[in-house]
Amino acid sequence: MPYSAEPYQAKPFSAEPITALPFQAEPPTVSVAPAPFVPKYGQMLSPDAHGIVVLEEFTLDPVAARDEQRGFRAAMAAVALTMRRLVALRLFIAAVAIANLPLFLLSSGWEIYVISLTLVVAVHAAVSWLNRHEPRIKQRRMLELHLHRERSANYRKVRDAVKYVIDAPARMNESLYLELLAAKRVALHLAMGTVALLDTSDDAAWKVRIIREIPQAA
């Protein structure tokens, strides 16, 4: 190889990186505030109402509620009076039958015997009539009370609101409705802490709240 007298010149380097990787900046960390607690059912009241969840809220007609109080009490009194009369009639028939027994067995004259036999026939007829008509009389009185319940829009609202949160469905009757109107507070389920509250501060519409009281940790 011939020798060159020219000085050695280094080849210039390329400005482009040979194996340059793209620079990826890390996304800034954003602190997310925790979402407020929202109960699964119902809505929380204001912060001053500690541990209370509103399950249901509706209004009642005050004018209709006052009239229904008298109507329900009258219907319930009629049912109770009918039951007492039926019991008193049975007791009277039993007393007549017991009192007539020695008269029928120890009668010496035909007149007393005829009277005693007439009483026996009358007792038998009265018992037969009572056994045949007593269910109808009870059913008629209970039907009148049922019609009072179905005509009451306020009662239907309360019944529909508490039927899934009350401890015993049989408790939802006119007695519980009247208790709510009178006491303004009725316990529905003691184990779950479910209560019905009536607010009568507004004369235009009474507000009913079905709430659940959650015990606070000590």
Hey, CA dihedral for 103, 107, 111, 113, is it positive or negative? positive
Which pLDDT band holds residue 146 (cuts at 50, 70, 90)? confident
Tell me, what's the pLDDT at 6? 54
Which two tokens mark 213?
């009281």
Domain range for 89 is 44-213
Strand-pairing partners, residue 187, are 195
Average pLDDT over residues 6-35: 52
Q: What is the pTM of this model?
A: 0.63
In a domain, 124, yes or no: yes
- pLDDT of residue 213 exceeding 60, the answer is yes
Among residues of the chain, what percentage have pLDDT more than 70? 72
User: What would the pLDDT profile of 118-127 be if each residue is shown by its tens digit?
Assistant: 888 888 898 8
Query: Is 15 part of a structural domain of the chain?
Result: no
DSSP 80: H
Could you read off the pLDDT of 92-111 as tens digits, one per residue? Answer: 988 888 887 777 666 667 77
pLDDT score at 84: 92
**Considering the domain boundaries, does residue 190 fall inside one?**
yes
Which pLDDT value is given to residue 155? Answer: 92
Q: What's the average model confidence in pLDDT over 142-157?
A: 88
Residue 176 lies in a domain: yes
Q: Which two tokens stand for residue 69?
A: 């109080």
Instruction: Provide the number of structural domains found in the chain.
Output: 1
- Using one digit for the tens of pLDDT, what is the confidence trace for 189-208? 888 888 899 998 888 889 99
In a domain? residue 29: no
Banded model confidence at residue 157, pLDDT cuts 50, 70, 90: very high
Is 178 a residue whose pLDDT tops 60?
A: yes
Angle between the 174-183 and 110-151 helix axes, to the nearest 10 degrees?
A: 60
169 belongs to a structural domain = yes
Q: How confident is the model at residue 215 (pLDDT cuts 50, 70, 90)?
A: low
Q: Does residue 39 form part of some domain? A: no
218 in a domain, yes or no? no
42-86 pLDDT, tens digit per residue, is: 444 454 555 678 888 999 999 999 888 888 888 889 889 999 999
